[in-house]
Structure 1
Amino acid sequence: MKYFEEAKQIWKNHVPKNGQSDIVEGELIRTVERLRYEAQVNGNINWDEGFEMFCDYIWNSLNDDSTFDNKVLEQIKVDINILLDYDSPYLDDDLYDRITDHIVEWSIAHKGPIKREKDPKQYR
């Protein structure tokens, strides 16, 4: 992971012990870690629309051609599609770490932290 220390600081400062973050970067990292945990620990046994919403949130946030070139955007999309294949849980860290690096890059480009409204539909 290229931005481990930066991601750790976002986690420490913007991811609450329970519930959603009120900062985009915090929520994105919380989302990636929830997806990682569900796949690696639970084998996606609890997969439901809440996890699909996580994938949508990542894509909707990072799908930013002012921050990422087409090659990076395509990699993010491929990674998210792999996560969405919940019948085949992705167990290696590389994909989750790569998305987390892109979150930090997005935050740097947007001079974060960026405030967000919590999603009342997201229960995970």
Structure 2
Amino acid sequence: MPMRNGRSSSLKPSPLEPGSTTHNIPPAERATLQQTTPPNGEWYPDIAARLTDWLAELNPARPALVISQGITAGVLRGILVGGEDWHGVPVAPRAPQGTVFRIVGGVEQVIHTGTGAAVSRAA
């Protein structure tokens, strides 16, 4: 997915769990992704545009600590490391709440797997 700042993102598959090499969203999980824009909410392309603009403002020479809720985190991870297309936006698979990722150079590493639910709610 091209980024708005003129750079293209590196959409490489990366592990969600140790040993995993795919970012395909399982059919059962895919069925639970939002199907319509929530009232007064953002839709996946809106979230991706906001995140792409935000990423363009970051200093690439400095690390960033990002804390987010599930849907936005899935879109951000999709932009950075790749994901399955959902309404024109790469979305990474869900992870249990509390999961910590390290993303460097388009490669995602699970630092800690959370124990919370992996269910997203409307944005």
Please indicate, yes or no, whether the TM-score normalized by the shorter chain is above 0.5: no
Q: Which has the higher helix share?
A: 1
The structure showing larger relative contact order (alpha-carbon pairs under 8 Å, at least 6 residues apart) is 1
Calculate the TM-score normalised by the size of structure 2. Answer: 0.28
Calculate the TM-score normalised by the size of structure 1. Answer: 0.28
